[in-house]
Chain A
Amino acid sequence: MKRLISLIVGLLAICGLLAYAGHHLQASSGSTGSKVLNLYNWGDYIDPQLLTKFQKETSYHVNVETFDSNEAMYTKIKQGGTHYDLAIPSEYMVAKMKRAHLLQPLDRSRLTGLRNYDPQFMGRSFDPTNRYSLPYFWGTLGIIYNDRFVRPGTVNHWQDLWSGKYRDKIMLIDSARDIMGMALASQGQSMNTTNPQKLRAAEQKLTRLAPNVKATVADEIKMYMTQNEAPLAVDWSGEAAEMLANNHHLHYVVPSEGSNLWIDNLVIPKTAQHDRAIYAFLNFMAEPKNAAQNAEYVGYATPNRAAKALLPAAVRDDHQFYPNTTTLHHLEVYRDLSPTQVGLYNDLYLEFKMHH
């Protein structure tokens, strides 16, 4: 019994030591104190050097916490037990958060860099007057292929994926809206359709794609494509940019008949606490120099027109990531559908996954 008690005391002492060490380490990496900004971001979605620069200029330290899906972020913010100052949801999620009263309106009088943004990415249907959001990055949905297995120029359209040649060769991004949307676009339909017959037809078409599908996963696609594990993938442009940077056999195509245009946006959750730091950061990120540096690091397309002009010509004119105006014209932003309509997409998508 005595031994048991001394053991418990010993363990408690170790716990105390660990608590002290953890606290000390956290303090040395600077995540406590009052001059902070809590940023809730996607993984690896900002240049860390910019955060250092921001701290040097404004003395606000940025704590970055990451999420891996819009939904996970939504759950955490809605739960209310957290205090994030800025978050970066995609367009449909901005609309959803707005409806759930989770966002604070932006104070335009305190924003200095509004002129820098490309009007194309402002005032979209999810936030018509940009009352709550500022665009952060934008991109498309497309096909990545590896020229060691697929002859360049043979894959230009969604329909090409259905070819019998590609049995067990395609990796799909695990996302109901995107994959259903792909099937809809391949049939010439809108990616925002709510017509049950059209959706049913899209699901049936997807079922015919099933033999060609190697796996339906998410971020791992990056790793697999880089390591030549699969010849083809359907994924977002930002992911593609990273793959292309690591494996020069890879190419990215946005099917010209239509695809998705997505926009990630900076928003202020209701629970935000550091008002000054927030506006300092928004203005800092709107500066063309900083936005350009961030775009070069992250590899996504910037909605900041002034920043785009600062990018190297090779990046700026790369039609894989800054598509020409005709393709851009065919791209659709996902409309924020009602829960029942989203439910229909999800159910049909689940049915498709069951048919693997």
Chain B
Amino acid sequence: MTKRRTWTYFLPYGLWLALFVIAPVALIIYQSFFDLGHHFTLSNYSTYFQSATYLKMTANSVWYAFLITLFTGLISYPTAYFIHQLKHRQFWLLLVILPTWINILLKAYAFIGIFSQAGLANQFLTFIGIGPQQILFTNASFIFVATYIQIPFMILPIYNALDDLNPAFINASRDLGASNWQTFRHVIFPLTLPGVKAGIQAVFIPSLSLFMLTRLIGGNKVITLGTAIEEHFLTTMNWGMGSTIGVILIVAMIVVMLLTGDQKREGGTPR
């Protein structure tokens, strides 16, 4: 392709990058240097790093995001693996995607109905003799629902990685006398690791910033970075502080992307 052609192809995408990625990020960074009185200042950052509240909140969010990502991964990997072995696997994969088409708010409201005092879960607990429990507004229910929401986004990349796997490797491993477990541990899992990493990227950062669920399911007992941003932007109107936390999130995002980035090109696995 000629150089000029490449440029015309790149133009719409490049425009998008400039207008909707670089400009908004720049605006957020710019905004983070202003205080409530619209004066240029570094005070938002010093507040953030000196306040026990914000630091604790950050630690909390990271911990919850870690748990959500962990559980999502633990559930999703076997699911993707088993689906990949099925006969009509494309069909089953679509069934995994289907629930994501039902709006997240609707699902949250369904869970409110299920977890409430007179809800399905408590009816079940009463039925087996435990008696009704407080389920809604607990950390456990928050993690459960968040995991539920994220599962499809983890299954997809792992499934794709399994799909890209060359069956010749597995056959070779079997021919060399490796057990199923050995094949999995030394061949399948390492080769699907990029999928897992992509899944972690797709789940971890959104989990750091969940805000609807912390309120609807967690009853604002879990405060994440996302809750704080939402509150600063929409309620307290402290856009400067909100942007500062946003910048922290962007930095966290870059760190996660570096940690989970593709190293395979150096590794040189044949494709």
- A binding-site residues for B, Cβ under 8 Å: 69, 71-72, 74-75, 168, 171, 174, 176, 213-218, 220, 224, 227-229, 339-340, 342-343, 346-347, 350-351, 353-354, 356
Contact = CB atoms under 8 A, between A and B. Distances in A.
A227 B220 contact: no
Interface stretch (B67-75, B197-205, B232-240): B232-240
A215 B112 CA distance: 13
A86 to B, nearest CB: 22
A75 B215 contact: no
B221 interface: yes
* Residue among B36, B112, B134, B235 facing the most chain A CB atoms (10 A cut-off): B235
B12 to A, nearest CB: 16
Given A69-B234, A339-B36, A350 B223 contact: yes
A215 B220 contact: yes
Given A74-B237, A354-B53, A216 B36 contact: no
Given A229-B116, A229-B117, A350-B231, A215 B221 contact: yes
13 contacts: A75-B237, A214-B134, A215-B219, A216-B221, A217-B220, A224-B116, A227-B116, A227-B118, A228-B117, A339-B36, A346-B238, A350-B228, A356-B220
Nearest to A210: B221
Contact of A71 (B116, B220, B235): B235
Interface in B105-147: 112, 116-118, 134, 136-137
B238 A343 contact: yes
B185 interface: no
B221 A356 contact: yes
Contact of A174 (B112, B117, B118, B220): B220
Contacts of A356: 220-221, 223
A176 B236 contact: yes
A331 B106 CA distance: 39
A72 B236 CA distance: 10
Interface string B216-259: 10011101000010010011111000000000000000000000
B199 to A, nearest CB: 29
B56 A354 contact: yes
Given A215-B137, A227-B116, A350-B228, A72 B234 contact: yes
Contacts of A215: 136-137, 219-221
B37 interface: yes
A340 B221 contact: no
Contacts of B53: 347, 350-351, 354
Contacts of B216: 217, 220
Nearest to A342: B236
B223 A340 contact: no
A216 B112 CA distance: 15
B57 interface: yes
A354 B223 contact: yes
A343 B236 contact: yes
Given A69-B234, A340-B36, 18 more contacts: A69-B235, A72-B234, A74-B237, A75-B234, A176-B236, A215-B221, A217-B220, A220-B112, A220-B216, A229-B117, A229-B136, A343-B236, A343-B238, A346-B231, A346-B236, A346-B238, A350-B223, A353-B220
B47 to A, nearest CB: 9
Contacts of A213: 221
A356 B224 CA distance: 13
A356 B221 CA distance: 6
B37 to A, nearest CB: 7
